[in-house]
Chains A and B, each alone.
Chain A
Amino acid sequence: MKQKIDKSLVKHIAQLANLELDEDKIDLYQDQLSVIVDHFNDLKSLSFADVPETSRIVEEENVWREDKVTPSFNQDEALSNSKNTHQGYFLVPYVLTQKDE
């Protein structure tokens, strides 16, 4: 059940993860990820037809609290670690571009 991660998959995952990879490191990532994924793939031999998933270990009850106003960061504190602010706001990179760009 060996499954080599190919270069295009490495680039696809990097894009999903919002990571830019140095072109000269892609071969290394490909090798290292393949070895690890190959190990993970051992799980595929197990069959758990109707077994429920456990994604957290907590008491199965909601935690309620009164909805009251409590102290919070002021604007200066909230912005204090950002390098790009403008008139009391965070500056964020463009996410939309025009069609002809």
Chain B
Amino acid sequence: MLLDKSISQLARLLKDKKNSVVDLVTESYERIEKLDHQLNSFITLRDKKEVIKEAQQADKNIGKATSPLYGIPYSLKDAYVNKETRTTCGSEVLDKFNSPYEATVHRKLKEAGAILIGKNNLDAWGHGGSTENTDYGAGKNPWDLTRIQGGSSGGPAAAISSRMVGFAIGEDTGGSIRNPSSMCNTSGLKVSYGRVSRYGTIAYASSLDSVGPMAKSVEDLALVLESMVGKDELDATSSANKDVKYIKNLNKKVTKTIGVPKEFFGDGLDPIVENIILRAVKEYEAAGYKIVNVSIPLMEYGVSIYYLTGLSETSSNMARYDGVRYGESRQLLSDETKRRIMLGSYALSAGYADELYKKAQQARTKLIEEFNKAFESCDVLLAPVTPSIPAKIGELINDPLKSFLEDLYTGPINVAGLTSLSLPAGFTKDNLPVGMQLIGQRFHEAELLKMGYVYQQLTDWHTKKPPILNQND
């Protein structure tokens, strides 16, 4: 199985001509054809013949390849616009939308020589944490088909977990990369706000949205991220910060201090998850890291601060879907999306805005201060990604508040503009994956990747593959 190998191993095989780009692309399509009717991780696939032709061309030019991503099959969450296929964002409203332009992240990956296979399933507009709020069939978890794959970037995580692609691009507004990475046993990086251009991303909440890589390992994430970053004149919020050498020092062992924030271990955390995360803390301690306890008191209000911000912004962003310039009528929006737009409109409306939206933005100022204070006594924070193991399909979509509360540990990270790495940390007795997140200061991606790399040298959780592969391959 080629797509179980790391990106650098694949790059080596291609360079040495032991395998071809056509081999990789063919394997990708074969696995999708065999498994995806059970997982629903793709909404749209590119025409296979067209992609094989592209792969043959890539094989001819392999001598000129400079990027390790050259010839690697990848997929995009269907929230990024591209010209090869339609872009639905998981909603019937955009069922026939063919973008006349393409996202910066996609352009950069194409320039590196990576090969787009298709567009992944998601909660429509990013509105959800389970890939059930989609008009293209609920996503299923490759580790247990009766359970959610997480979300909103569920499709990319399931596709990587079941080795359909080499890597994928997700989008994280309040946990949408980290949550499915945790639930599908893959690695995912929520970058700092401004780290990667958002141009061509269908906006959920513009002050929270971030574009990040998803892959099988931290090493692969570092390789992909290096091709994604940089100032983009098409996104004024993209940063000129130059601290972007992720691979060079990846294996440099640095002893650091890890903060364990007590509010991430309070009521509502499933003890099964808690035990796995505390074991990871011990593993780091044994590896020479200093552990300190820290506190972020406003996390108690984290879900409200995150949702009041995100939903207010989404109510504004979603106003453009009026069926005039593109798309179908907004009456086709799902109940979940209508609920979110209405909550945002309420929080911004006369008589309520001062007590809700404005207060959330003031709390945001204080929350950032609290995180800064915590980082005075530690370098990174270690915490669970979600309070629960992957839910049964149907459990969250019918209980909107419960679904919101699942974002408790992830949403506030976006509110503060920080970076956070989600990586596999173990399994429940029933063989369901559980992930942890390492949270870093803004633009400290390199530090998180180094620490994640250390963990993946000490453990082999990230190498475990779901049973759906063992049965079929």
Contacts and interface: CB of A to CB of B under 8 A. Distances in A.
Given A40-B308, A46-B301, A29 B347 contact: no
A35 B343 CA distance: 11
B342 A13 contact: yes
A97 interface: no
A55 B207 contact: yes
Contacts of A91: 324
B324 A13 contact: no
A13 B346 CA distance: 6
A86 interface: no
A40 B359 CA distance: 11
How would you classify the secondary structure of chain B's contact residues: helix, strand, loop or mixed?
helix
Interface string A40-68: 10111010100111111111000101000
B362 interface: yes
B417 A43 contact: no
A92 B330 contact: no
Interface string B319-338: 10011111100110101001
How would you classify the secondary structure of chain A's contact residues: helix, strand, loop or mixed?
loop
A63 B236 contact: yes
Contact of B100 (A14, A20, A65, A78): A78
Nearest to B318: A17
Contacts of B361: 53-55
B322 A18 contact: yes
Contact of A58 (B194, B333, B360, B368): B194
A92 B356 CA distance: 34
A32 to B, nearest CB: 5
Contacts of B400: 32, 35-36
Interface residues of B, number: 58
A69 B327 CA distance: 29
Contacts of B207: 55-57
A16 B345 contact: yes
A17 B308 contact: no
A96 interface: no
B239 interface: yes
Interface string B92-118: 000011101100000000000000000
A51 B362 contact: yes
Contacts of A58: 193-194, 237, 239
A2 interface: no
A57 B194 contact: yes
Contacts of A21: 338
B342 A17 contact: yes
B396 to A, nearest CB: 13
A38 B10 CA distance: 52
B416 interface: yes
A54 B364 contact: yes
B15 interface: no
Contact of B315 (A17, A29, A33, A90): A17
Contact of A18 (B303, B319, B417): B319
A10 B339 CA distance: 10
Contacts of A44: 355, 359
Interface string A77-91: 110111110000011
B307 interface: yes
B365 A36 contact: no
Contacts of B368: 54, 57
A89 to B, nearest CB: 11
Nearest to A59: B239
Contacts of B256: none
Given A18-B322, A54-B368, A40 B307 contact: yes
19 contacts: A9-B346, A13-B342, A13-B345, A17-B344, A19-B333, A21-B338, A29-B339, A33-B343, A35-B401, A39-B401, A43-B363, A46-B363, A54-B365, A55-B207, A78-B100, A81-B97, A81-B98, A90-B325, A92-B324
Interface of A: 5, 9-10, 12-14, 16-21, 25, 29, 32-33, 35-37, 39-40, 42-44, 46, 48, 51-59, 63, 65, 73, 77-78, 80-84, 90-93
A-B CB proximity, top 3 nearest: A57-B417, A81-B326, A53-B361
Given A18-B330, A43-B308, 20 more contacts: A13-B342, A20-B331, A21-B338, A29-B339, A29-B342, A33-B346, A37-B343, A39-B304, A40-B304, A42-B301, A51-B365, A53-B358, A55-B361, A57-B193, A57-B416, A57-B442, A59-B194, A78-B100, A83-B323, A93-B324
